Amino acid sequence: MSNQRLIYGFHAVNARLWQNPKSITELYVLEGKSDARTREVLEKAAAENVRLHFADAERLNALCKGARHQGVAGFVDASKNHVHLEDVLDNLREPPLLLVLDGITDPHNLGACLRTADAMGVHAVIAPKDKSAGLNATVSKVACGAAESVPYITVTNLARTLRELKEYGIWIVGTDVGGDADLFHCDIPDSVAWVMGSEGEGMRRLTREHCDMLVSIPMFGTVQSLNISVSAGMVLAETRRQRGQ
């Protein structure tokens, strides 16, 4: 049971049904619900031979601990979507674009980062196993399906992983208010891993020391910092813009 993970909401469940249906151990649908989205879930679940249960609202609410489940929830075998970093890098057909999250413990922030990463075509999101939010139902819900599409790779030693990325020819670029250059006036390397720390504390010292370059995000208003997913969206979008030139 330790590998069982709850997912809920149409985005998370549909993404799992279409991308990795064999990892779903059982699916719960609100009895009597027959709208188009629910019918789509039921049809796909039947086609993939997913074990299906119809449950009343009280059962679903208890299962999801009061979260907004939209009448659909399920359990997945988390061990069946484990991905190794080498597998990702060895199968790319374009320069790697990676996002490294150092010390992001809030599941809402992680979910938002995964959604942003998916939108910007990030090949993998990397995080240390300790002091980081793990994939859970909240992350899947906030990510709107991106938790099922973007490889989320947790590593035991982040500093060692950054050194391994350099061996692949990938530049390690960190975001920092005191960066060597600002985002809009620097040449972003073709192969890049963007490293971002928590909004309050930033990157850890050892992580910062492994960065090849530090880049700041220009601020033109009165706020002193940005949410991690907003910052990620800005640096990833600028990376894609420069690649397209």
**Residue 73 and residue 155 share a domain:** no
Over the chain (245 residues), what is each successive 10-residue block's mean pLDDT? 77 82 91 91 93 93 88 82 77 93 93 95 93 84 83 92 95 92 94 90 91 94 89 97 88
Task: Determine the pLDDT at residue 3.
Answer: 72
**Residue 97 and residue 72 share a domain:** no
Task: Determine the pLDDT at residue 84.
Answer: 78
Q: What is the SS3 assignment for 209?
A: helix
**Is 226 annotated as a binding-site member?**
yes
**Is 188 annotated as a binding-site member?**
no
Asked whether the beta carbons of 155 and 98 are under 8 A apart, the reply is no
Task: Determine the pLDDT at residue 81.
Answer: 57
Task: Determine the pLDDT at residue 1.
Answer: 45
Asked whether the beta carbons of 215 and 236 are under 8 A apart, the reply is no
Task: Determine the pLDDT at residue 82.
Answer: 60
Q: Domains in the chain: how many in total?
A: 2
Edge to edge, the sheet with strand 171-175 lists 152-155, 124-128, 97-102, 192-197, 171-175, 213-216, 181-182
Task: Determine the pLDDT at residue 2.
Answer: 54
- 43: part of which helix (H) or strand (E)? helix 36-47
Cα 184 to Cα 157, 181, 241: the distances in Å are 31, 8, 11
DSSP state at residue 227? -
By residue range, what is the domain housing residue 47? 4-77
**Is 110 annotated as a binding-site member?**
no
**Residue 219 and residue 148 share a domain:** yes
Using the 3D structure, point to which of 25, 43, 77 is the last residue of a domain: 77
**Residue 70 and residue 130 share a domain:** no
**Residue 73 and residue 167 share a domain:** no
